[in-house]
Amino acid sequence: MTHARIDCGPRSPLRLIVVGSGRMGRAWLRAVTDAPETELVGIVDLDAEAARQAAADLGRPDLPTAAALPALAERTGAQAVVNVTTPVAHHPVTTEALFAGLPVLGEKPIADTLARALSLAAAAEASGQLFMVSQSRRWNPRLFALRDLLSGLGAIGTLTTEFYKAPHFGGFREEMAHPLLVDMAIHAFDSARFLLGAEPVSVYCEAFNPPWSWYDGDASACATFEMEAGTRYLYHGSWCAPGAETSWNGSWRASGEKGTAQWDGESEPVADPDVTSREAAYDGPAEIAGALHAFVEALRTGGTPMGEAHENAMSLAMVEAAVESARTERRVSVDSVLERAHARAVADERRPGVRAVLSAWDSDSVREALAGRDPAPASALSRTPPTR
């Protein structure tokens, strides 16, 4: 997807407004302040006092703050936005910014529903602005190292993530119907797509709540995805699993034609037999600083960064397909989930320009529109070799 470029970098820092000054917003405020290639010019939060307090806590009590974006963007000469609001606000805040001529770097998930995610990808096309989603766990040098190991293992038969933790969050997560699948598993699903260089085809998922759970909804889940080229991606996890907890990245195992790679989510990944990495190690900034750097680079060069909205929407498609499978107790095809989300997006869209983009996508092959490709016969999916 082409997008407007901005002449920015360390010598001409990108002027950014952060929208959302909650827990994660504060991490972004530090990241934007610390990066030499960005300049924080304002904070927006529906709760204007929260924005003022965040500015004060950053040691910048005079930083412009507001409860709404457009006027502050104009007053500060902002060039782009970081959207760290709650998921339900991702769609309205990002759409408003894109059509005000401001590219957006948004927190995961891209939107609260796949239909609104498709609307945002189309809004990026219609406005000609970059919309990138920060999946912070992708920007981990050890995940890149694991991907390099996988590339030495030949065809991958099975990729597995175990995720077992026991956090007491309080608040909305303990009230959601699917806290693990909707709020957390997207990180692992997104990493699986990255590791395999392959997209999901279908999923069978069971979600359940152990009797001792302190969550209202299903805090445990087991999902088996069929990925392109036939690889199976197995995710099993729980958010009420005390003892021997895995890391926040989960624990990974890839079983391939020529061997096995393992990663505990923290230390260096290993392979048996040892396979020499053929690719240069990633040594850029990590986590949200990595996403921020990629966003600035893409604006400067016109390139398409990892996490660009069209690509990232497939990670949310995995979540929605898994939830639907858990609800219906059936194997669910990802294309059917994409098709229904597309129909919903077209029906709900209020902006004519965005509706025109959505309507131009072939409803039978939304994945091709997201991949920027011409439709391919469905049978070709299972023959496609891993793209790396």
Ligand X SMILES: NC(=O)c1ccc[n+]([C@@H]2O[C@H](COP(=O)([O-])OP(=O)(O)OC[C@H]3O[C@@H](n4cnc5c(N)ncnc54)[C@H](O)[C@@H]3O)[C@@H](O)[C@H]2O)c1
CB of 27 to ligand X, least distance (A): 8
Taking CB under 6 A as the criterion, which residues in 85-104 touch ligand X? Answer: 85-87, 89, 93
Q: Which of 20, 152, 269, 305 binds ligand X (CB under 6 A)?
A: 20
Identify the helix (H) or strand (E) that includes residue 73. Answer: helix 69-76
Distance CA 76, CA 93 (A): 18
**Span from 31-39, 46-54, 71-79, 151-159 in contact with ligand X (CB under 6 A):** 46-54
32 binds ligand X (CB under 6 A): no
46 binds ligand X (CB under 6 A): yes
Query: Site map for ligand X, 224-263, x if CB under 6 A?
Result: ----------------------------------------
Query: Site map for ligand X, 136-165, x if CB under 6 A?
Result: x-----------------------------
CB of 23 to ligand X, least distance (A): 4
Distance CA 209, CA 203 (A): 20
Q: Which of 6, 13, 15, 25 binds ligand X (CB under 6 A)?
A: 25
44 binds ligand X (CB under 6 A): yes
For residue 332, what are the β-bridge partners? 203
Distance CA 335, CA 181 (A): 19
Identify the helix (H) or strand (E) that includes residue 164. Answer: strand 156-164
Residue nearest ligand X, CB atom distance: 22
CB of 248 to ligand X, least distance (A): 8
DSSP per-residue codes, 103-130: -EEEESSS-SSHHHHHHHHHHHHHHT--
Distance CA 81, CA 242 (A): 39
**Span from 79-87, 143-151, 265-273, 303-311 in contact with ligand X (CB under 6 A):** 79-87
Question: Two tokens at 260?
Answer: 């096995």
By C-alpha distance, which of 223, 263, 269, 224 is closest to 247?
263
State how beta strands 14-19 and 200-208 pair: unpaired
User: Which residues form the interface with ligand X (CB under 6 A)?
Assistant: 19-25, 44-47, 50, 84-87, 89, 93, 107-108, 136
